[in-house]
Structure 1
Amino acid sequence: MAADAGGDQGRMVLVCEAVQALSRRGIPATVNAIAHEIGIDQSGASRLIKSATSAGNLAMAAAPADGRRREASLTPAGRSMLDQAHRWQEDVFAQLTEGWSDTRRHDFQQAMTDLMDRSYAIDA
């Protein structure tokens, strides 16, 4: 994945990451939940979701519990795109931490994971 000068790919990854993160935490990926996850307003999230849906990375469907509410989910193409983005992120992380011991690299990753988990607990 090359640098994304226009930002479109980055925004696509951002919205798909949000859907994946919400799903992993058992939170329905509604427009409002995605907006909150990303830290933008509902209209901005709605535009990102529409773009990701048009690109084939997300699918929108009526919520099982409430047919009036729509929820996003990753499509196979969206999962593939995220897998590619994660590989790129891991490559960049390896470059940034070149010369670090495996222990230092692992400890740093664990500390960042702990911070993210704590942020979810505070946000709840």
Structure 2
Amino acid sequence: MTIRALSIIVEDASEAAREVSEQFGWPRGQSDFHEFADVHADGVDLWFSTSSAVPSGQVDGVTLHVVVDDVDQRTHEIQARGGELILGPVTQDFGMRSAIFRGPGRLLIDVCAEVSA
């Protein structure tokens, strides 16, 4: 498994990405909107968003995106160990298959994989 990105919920995604990029010297990604913007932070992407990237019912906090080979199999394993599934597995319209688990506090954990075309 690999951590791919952290989703950070903010009021203005573009402004948050600009500030972090300027302060730390990390390059901006291709997306730059009020609702979503990204920064490449030395191997982990920071995804700034004005709401949760997936309809989890939770709209503030942090989402840890963990890339796996098989979302469905990993979901089964996590649930067998007592993980609380709150969404999925589902194929998202942005080309990822995701299963969202509740983490400690306001943390969400997105077990995800890119969907082949």
Q: Same fold (TM over 0.5)?
A: no
Q: Which has more strand, going by share of residues? A: 2
TM-score (norm 1): 0.25
Rg larger in 1 or in 2? 1
Instruction: Considering fraction of residues, name the structure with more helix.
Output: 1
